[in-house]
Amino acid sequence: MGIVARDLVKRFPGGSGRAVDAVSFEIGAGELVALLGPSGGGKTTVLRILAGLESPDEGRVLLRGVDVTDVRVQERNIGFVFQSYALFRHMTVRENVGFGLEIRGKSRAEVDRVVSELLALVRLAELGERYPHELSGGQRQRVALARALAPGPSVLLLDEPFGALDAKVRLELREWLRRLHEERAITTVFVTHDQEEALSVADRVIVMNRGKVEQIGTPEDIYDRPATAFVAGFVGSINELEGEVRGGRAALGSLAVHAPPGAGDGTSVRAFVRPHDVELVGVTSRVEQRSSVEVATARVERLVRVGWMVRIELKLDDDQPLTVELTKDRVAELGLAEGEEVFVNLRDAKLFVQDYSI
């Protein structure tokens, strides 16, 4: 096992409760895992406890099978990269990457060899003599990663490593991190509040909220089988509908979907619906027949064009909002316009009765 966190608890003086509340997980050697959650959820604190920068009030940390809870940060053999990990400004790229090796007393030849190898790995071989201010943000983060990798850590911890970069660079670095991981397979944990980043890069995702682990699973588990209402709402959903079980069906305004098993009539339910699970059948005045008994009517409140996608904000008969995303071509084909009435249908919904999920 690469990393084991066992029942970690952390309270901060003056804090209102537990910043980290009985957090346990196991990360396999060579796994790439995302710690995902909203701001203040406890992700950074967990990462700092793994690193040894913070000590837990309770619980243990094991790295490669060894209990390191009481081992100092310098002796944990960990590499870190933080969001704004400042490089040494007066040092070139090569000197920055080699710094950790120099202070460990490695020979000049050894430092040169490792630095060249890492600069090739992070695709910066040509820029070794530059200074940090002569690099782009994305290049600087790659230097920070090379520097973290230089001493040969067994674990790499990244705290929002791409958080400060613009969307395009973030996307490139994500792919690059995935490739780097395929080449090196160092056990890696990265913190992010960006669900897309977590789902597209990680082997597994740990979702945290209010100091607790909500779910641990593969990106598919998290997206397709959310364990809690929090996960369903945080990952991928922008529609939340309320309703109740009636006649064996979950009635969500004028829509109806399968009811959670065992939920009797009158049970209140919350449904989370992905925008692509809403089917927009057509404009009522132009559709001859309802294609299914489950189809409901809704009014188009707003059409928001975002690149080649159009976000369609609907209002159901009972005034609950519902958002659909379609391509521009599909919107043109359907002849959608604000103020029109349309037929909608739900292909899928994640239903929760309090904490109970199906």
- CA distances (Å), 88 to each of 35, 100, 110, 128, in order? 28, 12, 21, 14
Piece of the chain touching ligand ATP by CB under 6 A; list 12-20, 88-96, 120-128, 174-182: 12-20
The H or E element containing residue 208 is strand 204-209
84 binds ligand ATP (CB under 6 A): no
Q: State in angstroms the smallest separation of the CB of 206 from ligand ATP.
A: 11
57 binds ligand ATP (CB under 6 A): no
12 binds ligand ATP (CB under 6 A): yes
- CA distances (Å), 85 to each of 3, 134, 304, in order? 23, 16, 37
Positions 156 through 195 that interact with ligand ATP (CB under 6 A):
193
* Gyration radius of the chain's alpha carbons: 25
Near ligand ATP by CB under 6 A: residue from 25, 33, 37, 227 = 37
Amino acid at 179: R
Token digits of residue 22: 């009985």
41 binds ligand ATP (CB under 6 A): yes
19 binds ligand ATP (CB under 6 A): yes
Near ligand ATP by CB under 6 A: residue from 5, 33, 36, 44 = 44
Question: For strand 249-252 and strand 78-82, is the pairing parallel, antiparallel, or unpaired?
Answer: unpaired
Piece of the chain touching ligand ATP by CB under 6 A; list 33-41, 73-81, 117-125, 234-242: 33-41
Token digits of residue 294: 């489950």
Q: State in angstroms the smallest separation of the CB of 83 from ligand ATP.
A: 9
Which residue lies nearer to ligand ATP by CB, 19 or 158? 19
Near ligand ATP by CB under 6 A: residue from 27, 45, 147, 314 = 45
Measured distance CA(159)–CA(154) in Å, rounded = 17
C-beta atoms surrounding 5 within 10 Å: 22
Q: What number of chain residues touch ligand ATP (CB under 6 A)?
A: 12
Q: State in angstroms the smallest separation of the CB of 18 from ligand ATP.
A: 9
What's the length of the chain? 358
Q: State in angstroms the smallest separation of the CB of 225 from ligand ATP.
A: 23
Which residue lies nearer to ligand ATP by CB, 85 or 343? 85
Dihedral, CA of residue 89, residue 90, residue 93 and residue 94, to nearest 10: -150
Q: For residues 300 and 314, is the Cβ–Cβ distance under 8 A? A: yes
Identify the CA nearest to 179 among candidates 145, 135, 153, 147: 145
Q: State in angstroms the smallest separation of the CB of 165 from ligand ATP.
A: 16
Q: State in angstroms the smallest separation of the CB of 144 from ligand ATP.
A: 18
Q: State in angstroms the smallest separation of the CB of 177 from ligand ATP.
A: 18
Q: State in angstroms the smallest separation of the CB of 61 from ligand ATP.
A: 15
- CA distances (Å), 348 to each of 34, 49, 196, 212, 237, in order? 26, 39, 20, 28, 12
Dmax (CA) for the chain in angstroms is 80
List of residues contacting ligand ATP (CB under 6 A):
12, 15, 19, 37, 39-45, 193
